Amino acid sequence: MTFALTDIIATIAALLVFLTFSMKTMVPLRLVGIASNVFFIAYGYLQPAYPLLVLHALLLPLNILRLRQMLLMVRQVEDAAKGDLNMDWLKPFTTKMTLAAGDMLFRKGDQADAIFFVMSGTLRIPEIGVTIAPGQIVGELGFLSPNKARTQSVACAEPAEVLKISYDQVRQLYFQNPKFGFFFLQLASRRLFENNERLERDLAHCRAAAQTA
């Protein structure tokens, strides 16, 4: 009876491990991982197989901790992403950077790996003469760039503090929560439209200047 029960438990545990390889997002993967830990602990106790029991007894609280962190992150995203483009809610996922006047945040052609939220001070995009004021972000278009390269340079016009969120973190948020995915698309689309409008204004100005010349 005990032997048959351990076989059933071991089979279920193995199937759960196999199932984790089909998981596309972290929350379901952690849930299935926790279930497999429980079955392996039961198997290790009944067999007995103490190395297996100890291994999964250690993995179980780790999986629970990671699941809790992921659910908390998803909840923060859901609570914060209400459809506006306020980036304050991203602060818990960022690291702070302090810049001096004249510092380059990044240069055109640099490898893009993060988005930056301006807390204080002023940044400037020298190629197009655009100022990035506190409360604005910069660097989001690099996430969508095929070669992940910066399309413009960003310099620090005066001492500033910025918050940095890596593309890896953005990607994790994007795939874990559809609301954040839509939010990010809104953000990137707004910047693309702004750039397009600026280009049209510049072209119109050039045409007007050519006609009056």
Task: List the one residue out of 61, 163, 153, 140 whose CA is nearest residue 106.
Answer: 153
Asked whether residue 193 carries a pLDDT value surpassing 80, the answer given is no
Task: For residue 109, count other CB atoms closer than 10 A to its CB.
Answer: 12
Q: What is the pLDDT of residue 78?
A: 60
User: Which ranges of 81-177 does DSSP label H, i.e. alpha helix?
Assistant: 167-176
Task: List the one residue out of 157, 154, 131, 126 whose CA is nearest residue 141.
Answer: 154
Instruction: Decide: 68 and 30 in contact? Cβ < 8 Å.
Output: no
Residue scoring higher pLDDT (62 or 88): 62
Quick check: pTM over 0.85?
no
Mean pLDDT of the chain: 80
Instruction: Decide: 49 and 10 in contact? Cβ < 8 Å.
Output: no
Instruction: Decide: 132 and 108 in contact? Cβ < 8 Å.
Output: no
Task: List the one residue out of 99, 178, 83 whose CA is nearest residue 138.
Answer: 99
The alpha carbon dihedral of 143, 102, 85, 191 has a sign of negative
Query: What's the mean pLDDT in 138-150?
Result: 79
| Ranges 80-84, 153-157, 197-201: which has the least confidence | 80-84
Query: How does residue 104 score in pLDDT terms, banded at 50, 70 and 90?
Result: very high
Bridge-partner residues for 123, per DSSP?
Answer: 132, 156
Q: What is the pLDDT of residue 41?
A: 93
**Encoded amino acid at 161, one letter:** E
d(CA 146, CA 178): 22
